[in-house]
Structure formats: C-alpha cells, structure tokens
Amino acid sequence: MNKARFEAFTDAIVAIVVTILVLELPKPESYRLDALLVNWESYLVYMGSFVVLVGVWFQHHNLFHYAETINRKVFWANALWLLIQSFLPYISSWMADYPGHSTPVIVFLALNMLWALSYRLMYYALCEENDMPAYPWSRTLSYLAVLLVLILLALWHIPLALVGLILFNVIGLIIGRDLEI
C-alpha cells in the first residue's frame, strides 16, 4: 500500500474531525464580549478535544515516520484508530450540552483509553512489517493511569478534570519524545 496516500487519507480524516469540532461550538447570543463567557464550558470542552486530537495526530505522525511498509493489518488498525477518533466530536458535543454532568466526561476519557489501546495495536501491526524502535508498555500504562485519575477527578470536579486533560496533553506535546502516546 502506498504510504503517502495512506498518510494523506489519515490526515484528511483528522482534519475533518477537527473541523466538525469547531462547528459544534455554540455561537454567542449577542455582539458583546461577555456573551462569549456564557458558554465557557463549551470552549473548555473544545480546547480539551482539540489538544487531544493534535497530540494524538502528532504521535501518529511520529509512529509512521519509522514505517516503510503498510499492509492490510496496519490499514485496519489505523481504520480502528480513526473510527474511535470519529466519535470525538459527538462525545465532545454531549459534554458541552451537559456541562455539570460527569457521565459524558467519563465516556470521553474512556474513549481516549480505547484510542490509546488502538494506537498500541497499530504499533504492533507496524512492527510485524517494519523495523520499529522499542515502545515500552510503561508509556501506555502511564497514559491509561492518568486517564483513570482524570475519570476519578471528573466525579468530583469536572472542569478540573478537563483542565488536567488539556495540561497533560500540552505537556506531552512539549516534552514528549517519539513513539509516545
């Protein structure tokens, strides 16, 4: 399979998901600046979702930097990764519609856990065909542990859990190394 077309297809899907995210943002009810503050929870959800998407896309880009061969297993593992990603705008919209409820946030974080596992599956599919650098389980387990802590935090204080998710992903982008989730 042609790697360039494969990556272009993936990039297009990610771009569509990001576009759908921003289209879901509520528009202010007036021209005044304070009208933006009414929907602050929606903007926080958007920022959280956007940062997660950018971080995961960056890691995907790093992962495929090492790949030379794309086979059917890699294609289907990537398709699963994209399928899970495609639910992000839907769940993000649900979180924005019910800002005081933890269930949508927990589902969002659980979706991120599935996403991390699908990324791991994609890594193994790539390893079967390519000479890939080591990817320790400790990275995946650490990421899953942080998401679990954020789920528990969401039961107590939802905005703090979302800020924690944003900070965790921004820090990961700033200090992260190749092949990290």
Q: What is the pLDDT along the chain (181 residues), one digit of tens a residue?
A: 788 899 999 999 999 998 998 888 888 888 988 888 888 888 888 888 888 888 888 888 888 888 888 999 999 999 999 999 999 999 989 988 888 889 999 999 999 999 989 999 999 999 888 888 777 788 888 889 999 999 999 999 988 988 888 888 788 777 765 444 3
Q: Give burial (CB, 10 Å; 0-12/13-18/19+) of 60.
A: buried
- Grouping H, G, I as helix, E, B as strand and the rest as coil, residue 69 is coil
Q: Give burial (CB, 10 Å; 0-12/13-18/19+) of 133.
A: exposed
Q: How far apart are CA 54 and CA 20, in angstroms?
A: 14
Query: Amino acid letter at 174?
Result: I
Rounded to two decimals, what is the model's pTM?
0.82
